[in-house]
């Protein structure tokens, strides 16, 4: 599905792709790039930039740092998630800690939501 996006956010999305957090890099290079579906990094959708987007499954993946535990960020995240759901997307949120300490469980959860198995992953290069 094609989404409208805020052109003013394009430079921000490009900068975020170049400066991913260690947890985003880990998820991207060690798992998401191996999926047999297209995954977009720092996808500009509406007035938001989502960490990862799998269009074929309408899945938004967000990796949250500690700042997302603050009340004002929780409210913003809820609105963002609601907006993404109104567009027909499923929002999967994981913390940096999840990526660092429960990486395999995060990958299994994503696979479950996409509906594919570990055997479908592309081999590591």
Q: Check: CATH 3.40.960.10 for 7-114?
A: yes
Q: Indicate the angle between helix axes 22-30 and 103-114, nearest 10 degrees.
A: 60
Q: pTM (2 decimals)?
A: 0.88
Sketch the domain layout of the chain as residue ranges: 7-114
pLDDT in tens, 97-120: 999 999 999 999 999 999 998 888
Given pLDDT bands bounded at 50, 70 and 90, which one contains residue 1? low
What is the signed CA dihedral for 106, 99, 121, 88, rounded to 10 degrees? 60
């Amino acid at each position: 599905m094609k989404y409208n996006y805020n052109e003013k956010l394009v430079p921000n999305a490009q900068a975020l792709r170049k400066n991913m957090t260690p947890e985003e890099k880990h998820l991207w290079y060690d798992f998401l790039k191996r999926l047999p579906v297209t995954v977009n990094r720092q996808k500009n959708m509406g007035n938001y930039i989502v960490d990862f987007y799998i269009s074929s499954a309408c899945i938004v993946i967000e990796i949250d740092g500690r700042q997302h535990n603050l009340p004002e960020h929780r409210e913003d995240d809820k609105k963002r998630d609601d907006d993404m759901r109104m567009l027909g997307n499923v929002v999967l949120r994981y913390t940096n800690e999840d990526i660092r300490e429960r990486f395999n469980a995060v990958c299994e959860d994503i696979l479950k939501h996409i509906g594919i198995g570990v055997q479908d992953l592309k081999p590591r290069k």
